Amino acid sequence: DDIRKHAFVLTPGRYVGAAEREDDGEPFEEKMRRLTTELRECFVESDRLEVRIKANLEGLGYDL
């Protein structure tokens, strides 16, 4: 009956609700600062690893 009521549209959002999110108590601005710092550190590590991988591949005769 629900499917008929929604004109046979099978979009899941019409039939199920969204999960409740728990508030972790960390203020938004603080969380964003922490997460962007963490992301920046990941980018630095990624760049460092990229250089090493390229050097290793070049050492094996595979230039990128």
pLDDT in tens, the chain (64 residues): 778 888 888 888 777 877 788 899 999 999 999 999 999 999 999 999 999 999 999 999 999 8
The whole model's pTM is what? 0.61
Residues 6+ apart with CB under 8 A from 6: 14, 15
Three-class secondary structure of residue 10 per DSSP: coil
Residues 6+ apart with CB under 8 A from 31: 24
The Cα–Cα gap between 35 and 44 comes to: 14
Q: What is the DSSP code (8-state) at residue 42?
A: H
Residue tagged 């962007």 (tokens): 36
